[in-house]
């Protein structure tokens, strides 16, 4: 099978090194024992970060349809003896195989623009309305709508207003927007 044929747009790239992880940690409403979803996790760099926050009693669902990225994450988990990350090969635009109302926080790190470009953001956000616990949180990291690099072309970047409009259309309520680096913002929403 050809690996590149099944490689999603943006696979292999991570915005983690561009953001201030301390600001992200302080902004996410995660604590030890929480269940988190790293949606379109790629190689799982954010999953590893979330794993440290939720601790041994928590769980991180690392969901992606990029097999190579999940294999990389699997090796990291094995090498570091991590027991709280569950890699899942899943197409988030079709069905995310996680129990309803079981996740405290879903992180979508610089992927909402890709789903929107594929006209699939609605399908993904609709699923999150039942995966997240009532009162759970959706954390969206996106590139500021400025010329790059780094990041995608400005034509597919989402402004803060565009992100808020897109997400609140599915019943989420915006809590706050935080500048988490020179290139990125974080928008936090509450599920109703």
| pLDDT tens by residue, 14-72 | 899 999 999 999 999 999 999 999 999 999 999 999 999 999 999 999 999 999 999 99
Please state, as a whole number, how many other Cβ atoms lie within 10 Å of the Cβ of residue 110.
27
Where residue 1 falls among pLDDT bands split at 50, 70, 90? very low
CB-neighbour burial class of residue 14 (10 A; exposed 0-12, middle 13-18, buried 19+)? middle
Please state, as a whole number, how many other Cβ atoms lie within 10 Å of the Cβ of residue 25.
13
pLDDT over 70 (residue 6): no
Element (H, E) at 80: none
Beta-ladder partners of 61: 37, 86
Domains and CATH numbers, the chain: 4-190 (3.40.50.150)
pLDDT over 90 (residue 124): yes
pLDDT over 70 (residue 116): yes
pLDDT over 60 (residue 2): no
Q: Average pLDDT in the 160-188 region?
A: 98
Please state, as a whole number, how many other Cβ atoms lie within 10 Å of the Cβ of residue 159.
13
Element (H, E) at 148: none
Structure confidence at residue 7 (pLDDT):
59
CA–CA separation, 112 vs 66, rounded Å? 16
**What's the chain's average pLDDT?**
94
- Residue-wise pLDDT for 156-165, tens only, equals 999 999 999 9
Phi, psi of 141 (to 5 degrees): -105, 130
pLDDT over 90 (residue 115): yes
């Amino acid at each position: 099978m050809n690996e590149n044929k099944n490689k999603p747009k943006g696979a292999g790239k991570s915005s983690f090194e561009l953001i201030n992880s301390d600001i992200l940690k302080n902004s996410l409403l995660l604590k030890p024992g929480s269940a988190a979803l790293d949606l379109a996790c790629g190689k799982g760099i954010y999953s590893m970060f979330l794993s440290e926050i939720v601790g041994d009693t928590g769980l991180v669902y690392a969901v992606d349809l990029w097999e190579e990225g999940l294999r990389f994450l699997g090796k990291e988990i094995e090498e570091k003896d991590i027991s709280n990350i569950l890699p899942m090969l899943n197409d988030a635009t079709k069905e995310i195989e996680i129990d309803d109302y079981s996740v405290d926080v879903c992180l979508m790190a610089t992927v909402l623009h890709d789903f929107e470009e594929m006209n699939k953001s609605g399908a993904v956000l609709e699923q999150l309305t039942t995966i997240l616990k009532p009162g759970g949180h959706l954390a969206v990291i996106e590139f500021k709508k400025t010329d790059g690099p780094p990041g995608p072309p400005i034509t597919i970047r989402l402004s803060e207003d565009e992100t808020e409009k897109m997400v609140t259309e599915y019943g989420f309520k915006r809590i706050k927007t935080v500048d988490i680096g020179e290139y990125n913002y974080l928008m936090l929403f509450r599920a109703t």
